[in-house]
Each structure stands twice: as C-alpha cells, then as structure tokens.
A = this chain, B = another copy of it.
Amino acid sequence: MKRNLYLKTMTADAAYKLYVDVLLERNILKRKTEIIKTEDSLGRRTNVAHFAKCNSPLFTASAMDGICVDSKITKNASEENPVILKLGVDYKIVDTGDVIKSPYDAVIMAEDVIEIDEQTVKIIEPAVTWQNVRPIGEDIVEKEMIIPSNHKITAIDIGALMASGNLELSVYKKTSVGIIPTGDEIINPVDKPKEGDIIDSNSYMIKALVNSCGAYGKRYEIVKDDLNLIKEAIKRAVSENDIVIINAGSSAGTEDFSKTAIKELGEIFVHGVSIKPGKPVMLGIIDNKPIIGLPGYPLSTYLAFDIFVKPILDYLNNSKNILEIEKDETIQAKISKRIVSSLKYQEFVRVKVGSVGNELIAAPLNRGAASQMSMVRADGLLVIPQNSEGYEASDVVNIKLLKKKEDIYKTLLCVGSHDVLLDIVTDIMEKKYEDVSFSSTHVGSTAGLMALKRNETMIVPTHLLDEETGVYNIPILKTIFEDVKKGDKYNITLIKGFKRTQGIVVKKGNPLNIKTINDLKNGRFVNRQRGSGTRVLFDYLLKKNGIESNEIDGYDKEMATHMAVCSAVYNDEADFCIAIKPTANTLNLDFIEIGEEEYDFALWTKDINDYKVSRFIDVIKSKELHMELDKLTGYKYDNVGEIINI
C-alpha cells in the first residue's frame, strides 16, 4: 500500500512564479502568429500594425448626386446672372461615388440645378473649389496606419481594413492546448452510465475553459492507467500542441503515472501546492513545451486551471506581463456563517452572494472538491489565505466574482427548507424577469430562520411543526424571534405557500410492506439533516410512537434534500425515507401518507415591498407554477400568497 507523498508543497504564488521564471528563461512562451482573412478576424489580436494599402476613396469622387463642373466657370453665377452649362462641355451628370477628374473640380447637387433641356442646365450660385467632392484619400490615405499592434479587431476595423486593401491580416495564433484525460475508472460521457462508471466530464470542462481564454482546446481520448500508454499520449499531444494538460484521475494512485511519465519525458518543477481544493497540481516541461497536470476532482481541476493555466493563456493571447495576473472583479460581502480553514492551505470556498436589505451577504456552499454543483451555483469564491484560520460569521470579506456584479445585486437570496418547487420558481424567474434572479440554498427550515435573524437571507422557506399546538411555522417563528420583538410586534411576515403531503417513501410495490412509522424498525432508513422540517416531523412521530432513534438503522445517515433521500431509496442504498409526495412521484417510488404540512415563506416585514419579493409572490401565485406543481402532484395552493404579519 505505498502511496506517493507530495514532497515539496509550495504556495500557489511561489509555484506559479517558479514555473513562469523557467518558462521565460528558456523562452518557451513564444507567441505564434498567423495570416488570416480579414473577414474572419473579428475579436482576434494583431501582432503588427496594419497600414492602408490603398487610398479611400481610391480616386477623387463625387459626394453627391448632381453634376460636376469646373468651379472657375461658375464664379459669377447669381439669380440675376444665371450661368448656362452644356452637357459634355461644361458639366457631366454624376452619382455619388463617381470619379471626378480634371477639368472638373466641384459638384453641384441635383436640387440646385435647374434643367433647361436634356443637354442644358442653369445654375444661380457659384460652386466653390472641391465643393461636394471627396478628394482622393480623404478618409484613408495609403500607408497610414489603420490599426496598431496588439489591437483587438472590431467590426468597424474590418470595414476600414477591407476598404484600405487589407484582405489578410497578421494576428496572434490561438494557443493550442492538448487535453489528455487519464484513469482506469473514467469513461466517455454516455446517456446511461452504469454502476462503477465515472463519466469524464472534466476534460470537456477544461476544453471549454481553454476556449474561454481565446485559445483552442483539443481533447484526446481517455488513456488508461498505464505508464507506457500515458507516455505515448503525452508525446503525441506535445508534438501537436503548444501546451499540454494531463488530467489525472481522482485518486492519488493514478497521479503517480502522470508524474512518472512527465519526469521520464521531461522535467517536473512543481508537484503539489498548498491550495484547497487543487493541491496535486503538476507543472512541467517536455520538449520545450509546458505540460500541466491538473487534479481529478472537478473543483480542484477548475481552481488549478484558474491559477496556473489561465494566466499563461491570457499572456499568450494578449501580451500582458505574465506575472501581473489580471485581477478578477471582487465585491465585499458579509459572510453568513463561521468558516474554519487550515493553516496548511490557501482555501477557495464557493459562495452564493445576494443583497439582503442594503447589505451583500455571502453564503458558503458545499466545500467538497467533488461538488460540481456547488460551482455551478456559486456566485463567487472566497479566498482564505494560508495564514488564516478562517472567518467568523458576519465578517466582511472580499469575494472574487464568478458572475457579473449587476447579476449579484438582482439576486433574491432564499435560504431554508428544500422543495423541488424552488427549482421551478428559479426557472420561471429566469424566463419572465430581467431584473431578478432567484437563488436558493438548502439548509433546512431552522437554519434558514437563524440566517434570517442574522439578516443573511431575504426569505426563508419553512415547514416547522409546533408539537404542542399542531400549528405550522407561526409558533416556531415567535419562539425564534422572541428576543428581538418590539412591543407585541415580531416584525416578521409569513407569506403562505403550499400544503404538501409528507409520507414514507418506499420502493415501487412496497416490497417490505411498510404501513406505519413502526415498520421503519425493519429495514434501512436514510434521514434528513437536523433542523430540517422533515426531521422535526420524523422526530415528533418517533416520540409519539415511543420509538428510540437507535432502533432505526440509518438514523445517522443524513442527507440535505428530499431528492437525495428518495434517490437513496431508488438506488437501493436504503429501503425507506421520509419525504414529500412529488419527489417520490418523480422517481416513481411508492408513498405512504403520514400527514399534510404547510410550506410557507418567512421574511422581515420591512422587506415585503421589495420589488424582488413582489416578483417572487407573483411567481408563487402564477398559473405557470401551479400547472407544473399539478404535474408533480401532492401540492395544494388554496391560500398561496396570503400575507400574515406576526
């Protein structure tokens, strides 16, 4: 069981600088150029200045429709003394753009010419030299510069370049990046993967990241964990590209092959940096070309790409100083909960950011390196320096934005209990409104309400049962907000939401013949996390039925969503769970009803008129949403949108 240890773990900054120093010293980062058609050059960058190859206009030309004349003979024209002109002798008819040649040196507009007959006209005003005439080169003079070096070509430039005889351009070539996915466990993406399959989605993400940097990504076929095969694949990719990325499998074991292959074919300068996620990055050189080993977990891959590959591609794309890394846009926000980080790493935490009242709040997402969805949902990254142990809740931190600033300000933050209907709300919001986007994070009802109390979310989906009164939400809200009430006002508002059916979810056909809570002692259960409304309900039911938690096999196996627990049953990781009916239906599982609960939305009363909240209320009341919920079944919406001030 020998495992490779990272011998020298460096900081990301030190590793990057070390590597770039070698690349520069050996003159490896040469920027190639190519000649392309001007018509295909939009967005490309020139490597040299481009000059006009001809004049525009190419000849002295009429700027109007009319007649051209020699201005001298019109000198004395006036109303009293009109000058009579003969076609072919004194004037020629011209359209805009026609050649004007000696002896003609002026154009009189059609409107100012009085026709006498087909061959004769008169004019009553003198023409000034070069009047209505575009002299040769008026717009573009041959050999003048059209665009300088290092210029990003626009549509307007393309017009001027073509007009000045530049049909081809010299531009920087797109850097070609070969991407080699490796690992015995990974397979090419398929519609229906089977157990044990791990879909190689990483190489496609890397290819898209490469393309986002204005470079050209080329994915190679998956290489199995075999040193010789990996070496062959690297050799080929190095010969065919400017840079090569090798994407190791996710286990430390499979990394060894990449490392050995790079060492045997060239040199390796860095293996392992103190960042989290992303540690096992490799930086090497083979045949005077950079080769970079990116780690296997999607988040690690992404971050290592962002830190080590992107700045090199940016440099090759647009000539910046390679060590002055382009600063990403950042934003200041209040962190919604305590985050502990190791002194051993610089850590990157994905966060959702949204405005609550006048403040921006950053809510940390799943920190696992394997959590791809946390990155899809993230609005930004919180970078925790290596010398920091983390942040306390409510600390103001800098967030590196992954979305546009204006999109952050329009985000309606929703933190609390999970329901599939929130996905549908998100979708309808995106479809209907330009000025709001809806962002929900699933932490359970209680944690959501605590976040509301700390002003860290705008609205909270909640379904908390008061065991004594049997009333949903209002009693718990009063308990939680008791200490901040003013007089008899809690200043909290509940927007009534949906009644939904909770029940025991079992496999199709109910093979264990489950009928009541008591039957859950006979089989494998999977639970919801503490603080979630469903957990409160389950614990209430256990107590009511005199069942101890240790009688339930799997009571400690917690998952954060209805879909997650139902999915565990669907995939035979468990025999039953407690969840809502629509989720059970979605996965075609059987459902034994145990009660109806109220899924409502809590917020501070002061925020009820915020336009984002108004849009939210419009959506939960909309036919569009209700039609979707009817398809899922198990929802009632008699009093949806009703406002209860507490």
Contacts and interface: CB of A to CB of B under 8 A. Distances in A.
Interface of A: 1, 3, 38-39, 42, 49, 53-60, 63, 65, 93, 95-99, 110-111, 113, 115, 129-130, 134-151, 154-163, 165, 167, 185, 189-202, 204-209, 211-212, 249-254, 296, 298, 302, 319-321, 324, 368, 370-376, 420, 423, 426-427, 429-431, 434, 556-557, 559, 561, 563-564, 567-568, 570-571, 573, 586-587
B373 A298 contact: no
A141 B53 CA distance: 61
A192 B58 CA distance: 10
A54 B199 CA distance: 11
A165 B143 CA distance: 56
B155 A212 contact: yes
Contacts of A142: 563, 567, 570, 587
Contacts of A145: 423, 426-427
A564 B206 CA distance: 51
Contacts of A208: 39, 42, 154-155, 158-159
29 contacts: A54-B192, A56-B372, A60-B573, A65-B251, A65-B252, A96-B251, A129-B557, A134-B370, A136-B568, A138-B368, A138-B371, A141-B567, A142-B563, A144-B563, A145-B426, A145-B427, A148-B426, A148-B427, A154-B212, A158-B204, A159-B205, A159-B298, A162-B189, A162-B200, A162-B201, A163-B201, A163-B298, A163-B372, A324-B434
Contacts of A205: 155-156, 158-159, 162
A59 B196 contact: yes
A361 B53 CA distance: 32
Given A298-B163, A571-B55, A376 B147 contact: yes
Given A167-B191, A370-B138, A156 B59 contact: no
Contacts of A559: 135
Nearest to A41: B208
A150 B430 contact: yes
A130 B39 contact: no
A205 B153 CA distance: 11
Given A97-B251, A148-B430, A162-B199, A54 B587 contact: no
A376 B156 contact: yes
A254 B57 CA distance: 19
The count of identical subunits is 2
Contacts of A149: 427, 430-431
A568 B157 CA distance: 24
Contacts of A63: 368, 370
Contacts of A113: 1
Nearest to A572: B102
Nearest to A96: B251
A571 B59 contact: yes
A190 B166 CA distance: 9
A372 B251 contact: no
Given A159-B205, A207-B39, A557-B130, A196 B99 contact: yes
Contact of A55 (B93, B98, B567): B567
A212 B42 contact: yes
Nearest to A556: B129
A209 B371 CA distance: 39
Contact of A141 (B1, B65, B194, B564): B564
B320 A159 contact: no
A251 B298 contact: no
Nearest to A371: B139
B427 A372 contact: no
A128 B200 CA distance: 30
Contacts of A302: 156, 159
B49 A423 contact: yes
A204 B58 contact: no
B163 A253 contact: no
A96 B372 CA distance: 16
A426 B158 CA distance: 19
B370 A95 contact: no
A430 B49 CA distance: 10
A144 B423 CA distance: 8
Contact of A150 (B59, B157, B324, B431): B431
Contact of A93 (B1, B155, B160, B567): B1
A621 to B, nearest CB: 19
A198 B157 contact: no
A49 B427 contact: yes
A438 to B, nearest CB: 9
Contacts of A157: 376
A98 B206 CA distance: 24
A195 B434 CA distance: 52
Given A3-B65, A3-B110, A205-B156, A376 B563 contact: no
Nearest to A121: B1
A390 to B, nearest CB: 22
Nearest to A113: B1
B373 A160 contact: yes
A586 B143 contact: yes
Contacts of A212: 42, 154-155
Nearest to A95: B251
Nearest to A141: B563
